[in-house]
A and B are shown apart, each in its own frame.
Chain A
Amino acid sequence: MDWTWFHRLASPPYIYRLAATLTPWFAWPAGLLIAAGLYGGLVLAPPDYQQGDGFRIIYVHAPSAWLSLMIYSVMATAAAVGLIWRMKVAHAAAASCAGIGAWFTVVSLVTGMLWGKPMWGTYWVWDPRLTAQLILLFLYLGYMGLRSGIEDTARADRASAVLAIVGVVNIPIIRFSVEWWNSIHQAPSVMKMDRPSMPAEMLIPLLTMMVGFTLYFAAIMLVRLRAEILRRERSASWAREVVAS
């Protein structure tokens, strides 16, 4: 088997240039999809028969909750690749994910509280889904704290990678919490095997927002990845070339 593609993926200058090239290809579709999703969700979708216009919080809540879980999975996978193959670029990718993931975990919690108040009568309950999502925030913050607490980058990479990988157990707990326990949180309406329990005029804007947010994350993460690679490769000759232009 030809492994040159794998070696190229481990090469900082190659990844730096690839990230720079790819960023606008994610950013522009992300902007367009999020704008379309907002219009569809706030204007075109009909009010819910039970929750009225209050249900429209779903168009920001579900995409942020999805990002919080997806980013963690990307981060843990990159950390594992970095640990197993001693690939610095993979560690840089994992480090680039954490801050974005923490932000969208906060957004999912806050938008969930704002949705919970009118529908459940309370901002917060110590429900399995809500509690596991709060633990996800602490995992992100712990990862970032651990990294910033270790001066030596290689050691910070290894220690934080172990934390990220161990924390992965929380992801299926969040995902299946509403099925395993009696949760106040509603069952998934999109991410399930049978037909989604939503009419198309509600569902299409939601899927549009989720794809838009995913592409947005890719664009932001690639910009952070370039910063992180440059920070690590400050003395390399290719870096001289890149920052001079």
Chain B
Amino acid sequence: MERVPVLKIGDILLVSIQVDMSDQTAVMLQEDLAERIVATGCHGVIIDITALDIVDSFVGRMLSTIASISKVLDAETVVVGMRPAVAITLVELGLSLNSIRTALNVERGMELIAAARTDEWVMVDGDEDAETTATT
């Protein structure tokens, strides 16, 4: 059974899907990721699908589920590297993947996660921020 490796880089878990996944492999990835998020305490997950020829409804659902699971575990998921033909096909298939954040490449994905974390800090420190604005 093939397994998709999950790499830890700083505060981010990086998954680069390089194989044509069977449904079973996709389900295993979902479980592996949930465990790794908890084990590492990472706050971001980047799923790189540059190498995927297609995203069908099963893989699309897996991506949505991973995003939801990681959210509950206090991590932000960004899907990066979707090919144009895959995007066109997904929309026609009827999968809009509204719940998933996307970025064009890994670098932008990391920026998105960093920005999402900063936003949260601003929300926590909301009062302080208002004061700063008032004084300037």
- Whether chain B is bound by chain A comes out as no
- A residues lining the B interface (CB < 8 Å): none
The chain B residues found within 8 Å of chain A, CB to CB, are none
